[in-house]
Amino acid sequence: MTVTALDPTTALVVIDLQNGVAAIPGEPVPTADVVKNSVALAEGFRARNLPVVLVRVTFAEDGADMMPGRTEQARPARPRPEGWDRIIADLAGHPGDLLVTKRNWSAFYGTDLDLHLRRRGVTQIVLTGIATSIGVESTARAAHEHGYHVTVATDAVTDSSADAHANSVERIFPRLGETGTTAEILALLPSEAAV
């Protein structure tokens, strides 16, 4: 399905495009394309004075603030390189952008994202980022539960698994909102900047 509309106050929410995550190869969309398309969307939103939210994930050095609970798949215990949690240079440095720091999969849980969006009158979000089936899907689910219209830019999200990506794009996102390409979303942005 193609995205049909963007609300007058739509925000772009970019998930985990930070140094450590953007260094991971993506499937089926190359990570470089996710970055390029996310940058194009951010530029389009900024040009129209629409909110751009850059979400990053980080944890204390000792891991004390990581999600608790037993899992069957071990969490990475590797030391993280310096700057792994910094937003990538292609997106960083715009003073009007909002930065949200999370310590779990969803950009809503335990953060002030909802507060930032509601204060700005946002009724719809466009999602991009990595990983499709983890941070992007978790945020899309939470946005839907919070009553936002949700759109996912399918050529601006990727995963470490093409199968996981396909499941999210083909089965989950259509139940939470709409999907479209970067070009389709840019074409729906208003022609003039919001006041």
CB contact at 8 A, 6 and 185: yes
The pLDDT of residue 76 is 61
The pLDDT of residue 64 is 56
Pseudo-torsion of CA 88, 91, 97, 103, nearest 10°? Answer: -30
CA distance 139 to 119: 19
Residues 6+ apart with CB under 8 A from 19: 81, 83, 84, 85, 86, 88
Enumerate domains of the chain plus CATH numbers. Answer: 10-59+84-188 (3.40.50.850)
The pLDDT of residue 85 is 87
Residue with tokens 């839907």: 144
CA distance 149 to 140: 9
CA distance 159 to 24: 9
Residues 6+ apart with CB under 8 A from 191: none
pTM given for the model:
0.91
Structure tokens at 139: 């945020």
CB contact at 8 A, 91 and 39: yes
Burial of 17 (0-12, 13-18, 19+ CB in 10 A): buried
Helices H / strands E in the chain, number of each: 7, 6
The pLDDT of residue 2 is 85
The pLDDT of residue 1 is 57
Q: Render each residue's pLDDT in the chain as its tens digit; 195 residues.
A: 589 999 999 999 999 999 988 998 999 999 999 999 999 999 999 999 999 999 998 865 656 566 666 666 666 656 677 787 899 999 999 999 999 999 989 999 999 999 999 999 999 999 999 999 999 999 999 999 999 999 999 999 999 999 999 999 999 999 999 999 999 999 999 887 665
Picking from 155, 149, 158, 164, the residue whose alpha carbon sits closest to that of residue 182 is: 155
Picking from 56, 134, 142, the residue whose alpha carbon sits closest to that of residue 102 is: 56
The pLDDT of residue 73 is 67
The pLDDT of residue 43 is 97
